[in-house]
A and B are shown apart, each in its own frame.
Chain A
Amino acid sequence: MRDYVQATLSLGLAFGLYTILGRVASPYVQMLSVFTLTVVYFGQKKGELFGAIVGAAAGLIVDSYSLGVFGISGLTLTVTGFLAGLISRKFNLMSFLKTFLFLGVMTLIESSLWLGMVAVILSEKIGRLSDLLFFRPLVTAACGAAFFTWLRRWRARHG
């Protein structure tokens, strides 16, 4: 139960952060996927099943605010959450570099899946989408790795 409360609060936080970033950093908000970070975090911490559930919930939030087909982000984030749980069990993700690489790969998988689905379902040309989307894996991985490393150190210091 505690996990679900934590996940709900984290998604609410991501949602709030996304809203604020949208106001202060306008188009650049696309380069940082706070929802992907939340999903990957829970996938890594609580396992693939929980990652998939958080991914489905996060995806529905993203879809409700976009004009695309409802369910695309839900599907991609569900897969991302599941894979995050599955892959993270095989690696030690305690250093900044490893976290950065892991988050980069996960965001790349999520973005590729999303782009692929948009191209297939909506017949939309990838080149017509915003160029900033292509920086998403790099920026999300860098910000996420910095935040998670800080969080780990803070927890170690304060128990």
Chain B
Amino acid sequence: MPLFPKDKRAPRLFIALIILHLLLISFQVPRGPAPSVFERGLFFVLSPLQHGVQAVFRFIRGVWTGYFNLVGVQRQNRALIRNEFLLQQENALLRRVVEMSLPTLEMKTRLEAVRGSILPASVISLDPVNYYKSLVIDKGTLDGLEKDMVVLDRFGNLMGRVIEPLSLKEASVQLITDDASGTSVFIRGEKGLGVVTGDGHGRCLLKYVLDTAAGINPGDDVLTTGFDKIYPWGISLGRIVSLSSSRSLFKEIVIQPHFRFRDLSRVAILKSRGPFLK
């Protein structure tokens, strides 16, 4: 049997497809800051389809959990009532702390601004090639989303930022666990400054902390500095899980992000950084 079929069209078309892909790749290397028009177009066409699949899935789950699977609803309700009570107390306490440190008018303005600047969204897709790099959410330019808006998990921990491509009702999010990301951070207690990047395995690496920096321990919290002009000051990012001294100038520090990959159903987008400015 011959290696290639007698039909000459097959190898010719195959070679044409290969050349087409190689051309497509070569247009992007070295990669520019923005995705190509073709990539944007395909995202624009495909993302509503995925949105639809997600909506069907959500509807089926809604019918199941809302009408059939009601076991544990009462227990869940009790837990929510208790949680809400605790949050109300915490909110009142924090309001008092803010009142003590800020003039009344400024405090009111800031609290109102915070409320108006948060947009909830649902995750509709994860990066098919590397799960830890990016995801797609169900909010887009029609909801006021723009590039570089900050994305938080449901507990207010940093997850990443909105990147292109953006469509009318969908947007891509680059996660802090992406090894091509970079976030300016400090270790709580003014123990050191550095830059956090992803390690490609769901954790992050804290770079450029001098080997001579003292008092850094596993368990220390890492927060954003705001120096990168993308993430506002003081957002909790993760916790140090290990650190070691290398022969170089800097320590090798591994961070476990606070957001969990198993709990990505709801995320919050900060539409404005104003209220969070230090």
Contact = CB atoms under 8 A, between A and B. Distances in A.
A27 B49 CA distance: 22
B272 interface: no
Given A27-B202, A71-B28, A130-B201, A64 B49 contact: no
A-side interface size class: 35 or more
A128 B24 contact: no
Nearest to A133: B130
B10 A49 contact: yes
A129 B130 contact: yes
A84 interface: no
Contacts of A56: 17, 20-21
Contacts of A132: 131
A126 B174 CA distance: 20
A64 B29 contact: no
A16 B125 contact: no
B24 A15 contact: no
A43 B20 CA distance: 20
Nearest to A27: B131
Interface in A8-37: 12, 15-16, 18-20, 22-23, 26-27, 29-30, 35
B9 interface: yes
A118 B46 CA distance: 24
A60 B45 CA distance: 12
Contact of A121 (B1, B29, B174): B29
B38 interface: yes
Interface string B11-35: 0011001101110110011010001
Contact of A65 (B125, B178, B202): B125
Contacts of B142: none
A70 B200 contact: no
B261 interface: yes
Contact of B125 (A22, A63, A128): A22
B39 interface: yes
B129 interface: yes
Interface string B256-273: 000001101100000000
Contacts of A59: 21
A62 B21 contact: no
Contacts of A67: 127, 129-130, 133-134, 172, 174, 178, 180
Given A19-B57, A66-B128, A130-B201, A71 B25 contact: yes
B24 A64 contact: no
Interface string B102-135: 0000000000000000000001111111111110
| Most chain B CB inside 10 Å of its own CB: which residue of A12, A19, A128, A129 | A19
B200 A128 contact: yes
Interface in B166-218: 172, 174, 178-180, 199-202
Given A26-B261, A27-B131, A66-B133, A15 B202 contact: no
A69 B202 contact: no
Contacts of A29: 126, 128, 131
Given A27-B131, A71-B21, A131 B42 contact: no
Instruction: List the 8 closest pairs (A to B, CB-CB), nearest first.
Output: A71-B24, A75-B21, A66-B129, A128-B200, A49-B10, A71-B25, A64-B42, A16-B53
Given A15-B53, A30-B131, 15 more contacts: A16-B53, A22-B125, A30-B130, A49-B13, A52-B14, A61-B46, A65-B128, A67-B178, A69-B28, A70-B24, A70-B28, A71-B22, A75-B18, A82-B10, A128-B199
